[in-house]
């Protein structure tokens, strides 16, 4: 499985970009798993799963056509990756190991873009999208669109981290 992380500030287009890249990879016959890191609880209050969840207890919701698992702790990248059955693992945000290449999704404001580049200085930067050119010789795409998603899909298949 190949893995890549899409990072950037809030409202920078990360989810849009991840969706476009996933669709392109699937168009090529690849299976894609997506991991979305969030800063808030995922379960809504007063649902059955909410009432079943207690410290140390996993809860599985099964509905027609889908299954959702609530683990009682935050899982590491390695544990998440080991549970996925896909050709490509795309992560949005989060704390992936530094060996996993990043795609920087950047706002137009250069100071915020610079801080993301500095924060990821020890990580391979696969590409940047939006904002100013931020990753030296890595490819840069002005916007998240089907043409850039096609090129990013190729980069992920060629240079994604093997997990």
With a CB cutoff of 8 Å and minimum separation 6, the contacts of 147 are: none
| Residue 16, Cβ density class (10 Å: 0-12 exposed, 13-18 middle, ≥19 buried) | middle
Point out which residues pair with 6 in neighbouring strands. 92, 103
Query: How much is the pLDDT for 135?
Result: 58
Query: 161 vs 7, 40, 46, 56, CA distance in Å?
Result: 16, 28, 40, 32
pTM: 0.84
Between 55 and 15, the more confident residue is 15
For β-strands 2-7 and 88-92, DSSP reports them as parallel
CB 102 within 8 A of CB 160: no
CB 2 within 8 A of CB 89: yes
Instruction: Tell me if residue 75 falls in helix, strand or coil.
Output: coil
What is the reported pLDDT for 108? 73
Question: Using one digit for the tens of pLDDT, what is the confidence trace for 94-153?
Answer: 778 889 999 999 877 666 667 777 777 788 889 989 877 665 678 889 889 999 999 999
Instruction: Please state, rounded to an integer, the average pLDDT across all residues of the chain.
Output: 84
């Amino acid at each position: 499985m190949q893995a890549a992380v899409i990072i950037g500030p809030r409202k920078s287009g990360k989810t849009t970009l991840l969706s476009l890249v996933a669709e392109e990879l699937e168009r090529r016959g690849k299976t894609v798993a997506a991991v979305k890191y969030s800063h808030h609880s995922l379960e809504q209050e007063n649902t059955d799963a909410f009432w079943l969840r207690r410290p140390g207890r996993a809860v599985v919701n099964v509905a027609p056509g889908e299954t959702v698992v609530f683990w009682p702790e935050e899982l590491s990248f390695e544990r998440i990756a080991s549970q996925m059955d896909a050709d490509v693992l795309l992560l949005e945000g989060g704390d992936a190991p530094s060996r996993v290449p990043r795609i920087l999704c950047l706002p137009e404001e250069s100071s915020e873009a610079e801080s993301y580049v500095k924060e990821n200085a020890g990580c391979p930067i696969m590409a940047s999208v939006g904002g100013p050119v931020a990753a030296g010789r890595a490819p840069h795409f002005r916007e998240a669109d089907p043409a850039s998603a096609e090129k990013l899909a190729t980069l992920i298949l060629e240079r994604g981290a093997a997990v």
